[in-house]
Amino acid sequence: MTHNPYDLTGKLVLVTGAGTGIGHGVALELARQGADVALHYAHSAQGALEAMGQIQAMGRRAVAIQADLDPVEECRRVVDEAVAFLGGLDGLVNNAGITFTQDFLDVSEEQFDHIYHVNIRGQYFCAQQAVRHMITRGQDVRRMSPDGNWAGGSIVNVSSVHGVAGYPGHSVYAGTKGAINAFSRELAVELCPLHIRVNVLAPGSIEVPRYWQIRPNYERETGNTWVPWGRIGLPEDVGYLAAYLIADASEYMTGQVIQFDGGLTAKMALRIQGPGDER
């Protein structure tokens, strides 16, 4: 039977921040493509448990693991518990993160430390622990299928368009996303000899539940006007790309930062009044 490089059947994947929003959509899509999934969540227990039930209904294995990824030991625990349940680890989607909007002059030391600890330190140490298990998993798979087409482990670090473009009130958040981009590129080079890939998925405007929390009158039609492509992104859109990055089909791709934004960062931020008014 010909190997389908897009098929995730048999893949064992951990998704952090899977209780809501992007992580929720990614976890469900990975399962649809055949993966068994461990879902980490910090506060969104209901969403994580609902996703776990949906994945199990697809005939895939799933478990929900709660943790605050601020302490490094919790990062390691989440990865270890995921591996204990799944029986190994082929992929990690490092999605967990927090954001806030604050004027630069008003950012406190505590706010700065907390967002850096979760957004960059959390990804860093989840990846570090995951790689240890991916090495073992790779050795096991090669022993079981010496002639098989195994593309190695895959880490997908979720960043943001804020890592490459500025927006008022996001000085701390943007810094963490830029750090994710930089450390992921370096890590990709370092892990090539181990056949473990590292890529960054950097979404733009993706409609998540938080939109209604900060904008009670938010409507999708409004979100559609923000994006050059003409519609706002959805968590399942991110899931499609994440599934590809985990799959063997993307084996030749590593060290890339993919702006997934409907043309948002490609568009010049010029306010043109009319012909001849460009400056």
Find the catalytic residue in 44, 124, 154, 177: 177
Name the catalytic one among 44, 154, 160, 205: 160
Query: 220 burial class (0-12, 13-18, 19+ CB within 10 angstroms)?
Result: exposed
177 has catalytic annotation: yes
Q: How many Å apart are CA 85 and CA 96, to the nearest integer?
A: 20
Q: Is 50 exposed, middle or buried (0-12, 13-18, 19+ CB in 10 A)?
A: middle
Half-sphere exposure of 175 (CA within 13 A, CB side): 16
Contact predicate 236/29, CB 8 Å: yes
For the question of residue 267 being annotated catalytic, the response is no
For 250, residues 6+ apart whose C-beta sits below 8 A from its C-beta are 151, 154, 197, 199, 244
Write the single-letter amino acid at 134: M
Active-site entry in 44, 154, 159, 205: 159
Residue 29 · residue 56 · CB < 8 Å: no
b vs e for 30-48, b when ≥16 Cβ sit within 10 Å of the residue's Cβ? bbbbbbbbbbbbbebeebb
Give strand pairing partners of 64.
39
Catalytic annotation present for 173: yes
Among 41, 124, 173, 244, which one carries the catalytic annotation? 173
- The residues that are catalytic are 159-160, 173, 177
